[in-house]
Chains A and B, each alone.
Chain A
Amino acid sequence: MLCIACGGRETATPPATATNPVADNDTPVDGGTLLRRLDIDVVTLNPIVSSTRNDRLVTQYLFTPVIHLDRNLQPIPGLADSWEISDDGLTYRFQLNKKATFSDGKPVRASDLVFTLRKIVDPAAEAVQVSGSFEQMDISRTRALDDHTVEIVFKQPLATQLTRFNDVLVLPEHAYAAGNFRKDYNDTALGSGPYKLVKREVGKEIVLERRTDYWGDRPHIQRVIWKVIVDHAVAFNAVKRGEIDETFVTSDSWQRERTDPDLTKFLDFHRFYTLNYNHINWNTRHPILSDKRVRRALAMCLPIDTIVNDLYHGTARAMSGPFTPDEWAYNPTVPVIRYDLDAARQLLAQAGWKDTNGDGVLDKDARPLAFELLIMSGSSTAKTIAQMLQAEGKKAGVQIEITMMDGAAAIPHIMAGKHEAAYLSWDLDPDPDPYAMFHSSQAPPRGQNFGFYANAEADKIMEQARRELDIGKRKELFWRLHELLAEDQPYLWIVQVSDKRAVNKRVRGVIPSRGFGFYLWYPGEFDWWIAPAR
Chain B
Amino acid sequence: MTSYVLRRLLFAALTFFGITVATFVLIHSVPGDPVSFFVGRAGAYTLPKEVIDAIRAQYHLDEPLPVQYLYWLRGAVTLDFGESIIDRRDVTTRIAEKLPNTLQLNTVAFLIAAIVGIPIGLWSAARSGRLAERASAVGFFLLYSLPSFWVALLLMQLFAIRFDILPLFGMASDDYADMSTGARVADRLRHMILPALTLTYGQLAIFARFSKSAVTEVIRQDFITAARAKGAGEMAVMWRHAFRNALIPMITLLGITIPYLISGSVIVEQIFQWDGIGLLYMQAILSRDYPTIMGLTVITAVVTLLASLLADILYAVADPRVRVGERAQ
Contacts and interface: CB of A to CB of B under 8 A. Distances in A.
B48 A4 contact: no
B133 interface: no
B97 A203 contact: yes
A135 B271 contact: no
Contacts of A51: 37-38, 41, 86
Contacts of B51: 123, 126-128, 131
Contacts of B40: 407-408, 411
Contact of A43 (B83, B86, B270): B86
Interface in A153-209: 180, 182-183, 186, 202-204
Contact of B168 (A182, A241, A407, A446): A241
B189 A133 contact: no
Interface in B25-60: 30-34, 36-48, 50-51, 53-55
A410 B168 CA distance: 36
Nearest to A377: B286
A330 to B, nearest CB: 16
A204 B44 contact: no
Interface string A32-66: 00000000000110000001100000000000000
B161 interface: yes
Given A4-B186, A412-B33, A12 B156 contact: no
Interface residues of B, number: 59
A377 to B, nearest CB: 10
A229 B156 CA distance: 14
A56 to B, nearest CB: 11
A268 interface: no
Contact of A229 (B32, B161, B169): B169
A411 to B, nearest CB: 4
Nearest to A128: B38
Interface string B142-158: 00000000000100110
B44 A426 contact: yes
A431 to B, nearest CB: 11
A110 B110 CA distance: 60
A12 B44 contact: no
A447 interface: yes
B89 interface: yes
B53 A123 contact: yes
B279 interface: yes
A411 B32 contact: yes
Contact of B189 (A4, A129, A446): A4
B230 interface: no
A442 B165 contact: no
Interface residues of A, number: 66
B288 interface: yes
Nearest to A127: B51
A6 B42 CA distance: 49
B48 A131 contact: yes
A408 B36 contact: yes
Contacts of B42: 128-129, 132
A409 B41 contact: no
B87 interface: yes
Contacts of A442: 46
A183 B190 contact: no
A145 interface: no
A263 interface: no
A442 B47 CA distance: 12
25 contacts: A1-B193, A8-B187, A8-B190, A11-B173, A12-B164, A12-B165, A43-B86, A43-B87, A51-B37, A123-B50, A123-B51, A127-B51, A128-B42, A128-B51, A129-B42, A132-B46, A186-B87, A203-B98, A234-B272, A237-B156, A241-B168, A408-B31, A408-B286, A411-B36, A411-B40
Interface of B: 30-34, 36-48, 50-51, 53-55, 83, 86-89, 97-98, 153, 156-157, 160-161, 164-171, 173, 175, 186-187, 189-190, 193, 270-273, 275, 279, 286-288
Given A408-B36, A428-B44, 19 more contacts: A1-B193, A4-B186, A123-B48, A123-B51, A129-B43, A131-B48, A132-B45, A132-B47, A183-B88, A231-B273, A238-B168, A238-B169, A408-B33, A409-B32, A410-B32, A411-B40, A412-B36, A426-B43, A436-B46
Task: Across the A-B interface, give the 6 residue pairs with the lowest CB-CB distance, nearest first.
Answer: A132-B45, A408-B32, A203-B275, A409-B31, A123-B54, A409-B32
Interface of A: 1-2, 4-9, 11-13, 43-44, 51-52, 123-124, 126-129, 131-133, 135, 180, 182-183, 186, 202-204, 227-231, 233-234, 237-238, 240-241, 243, 405-413, 415, 426-429, 433-434, 436-437, 442, 446-448
